[in-house]
Chains A and B, each alone.
Chain A
């Protein structure tokens, strides 16, 4: 009862002393470190879930292809699955984890910083894993749907999963016509056939990775932005939240039609068209003989676009977060 010692740090697991050493340097405080660990933990869970989901889907696809080789279309589209997953993860982080962290002494500035670092980290991690898993299959199988090797004692389908938008960047240009040709090797050209393929670029894997990365960065950036906007709306009351959420959903379901429409009203829709076109990285196309369509893909364009989008989103998020509050009466929404 008469003990006067402060038992801070009594357990070996407790870190440092309370506040003497942190010095206030941004990014070096205990709170920043803990918030970052928390953010990375959330993304690690999302990553694990993503891997499991993709593995299950790919396995199902594999079973189906064993039964009916070449008989089924609809590979597992990695991009289409990962984009919304990362979007939702970033949104949940931005909206739902703010209160807990702020209540534990994490500053708004640190929260935004941690969000940006976490989003970049998960985007990089996912991109690396997907490219590392997919690229060897492409190299081994080319566009052939079966990989044949002694090591696996026969042939296996190679296209169980794919990242179609990113894979275009493996080539300077690639056939996107309707003809499906079975062909061997990484460079493929059928003499006298209907299609001509570009040889795979030497650093194509890098271009593929960068395109995938820019997609993932866009997903997390938009997730953060929507999360921050929803939190802002929730802070202004349930009605505002409802209106913003409804508006967002409406816009989403209309996809780009609305954007085109608005752009059309303001002026020529060429800017919107150009932006969306540029996001694909396809800067030129030509039609060769036999109705085969060739496109030219430059990875730096979507990458820069994504980085600009990311920076812009982080900026808006930081502005919204710097005024974000936890009002007791509003419960946990805001």
Chain B
């Protein structure tokens, strides 16, 4: 994991994203316990409140579940859902940003399309 203070993205969201990626990659398998807030906090030198905020984001999305007094576990079906979430985010946010930037640079839709298709072909 790597956290960047200057990226402009709130740190807790970075924590959530990184855990999300780890779940997609299968580093934390469904039903497995993820590291505790303190463990992540000390290992990456991030305030525990921030870590918790990021984890709660995943709890809200149903990717993690709290077990009282034990810790956080990867929920059943989390990997698939995490992949879906990531996909949604890519399509709604990153592609939109990408298109906006292309527009700003005066790249036409056809030109962009051609480039994308070339990328897929290779």
> Residues of A with Cβ closer than 8 Å to B?
1-2
Contacts and interface: CB of A to CB of B under 8 A. Distances in A.
A2 B39 CA distance: 8
Interface of B: 36, 38-39, 42
A139 to B, nearest CB: 74
Contacts of A2: 36, 38
Interface pairs A-B: 3 shortest CB-CB: A2-B36, A1-B38, A1-B39
Contacts, number: 6
A2 B38 CA distance: 7
6 contacts: A1-B36, A1-B38, A1-B39, A1-B42, A2-B36, A2-B38
A1 B42 CA distance: 10
A106 B71 CA distance: 42
B43 to A, nearest CB: 10
Nearest to A2: B36
B59 to A, nearest CB: 19
A1 B38 CA distance: 7
Nearest to B38: A1
A319 to B, nearest CB: 45
B70 to A, nearest CB: 10
A1 B39 CA distance: 7
A308 to B, nearest CB: 60
B48 to A, nearest CB: 12
B39 to A, nearest CB: 6
B114 to A, nearest CB: 54
A144 B76 CA distance: 104
A219 B38 CA distance: 58
A277 B38 CA distance: 74
B72 to A, nearest CB: 12
A181 B38 CA distance: 88
Contacts of B36: 1-2
Contacts of A1: 36, 38-39, 42
Contacts of B42: 1
A1 B35 CA distance: 11
A110 B96 CA distance: 68
A205 B17 CA distance: 87
Nearest to B71: A2
B100 to A, nearest CB: 45
Nearest to A4: B38
Nearest to B36: A2
A1 B43 CA distance: 11
A115 B38 CA distance: 46
A68 B36 CA distance: 86
B77 to A, nearest CB: 27
A93 B36 CA distance: 50
A1 B36 CA distance: 9
Nearest to B35: A1
B71 to A, nearest CB: 8
A80 to B, nearest CB: 63
Nearest to B70: A2
A54 B48 CA distance: 63
A109 B36 CA distance: 46
Nearest to B39: A1
A24 to B, nearest CB: 33
A2 B37 CA distance: 9
Contacts of B39: 1
B46 to A, nearest CB: 15
A164 B38 CA distance: 72
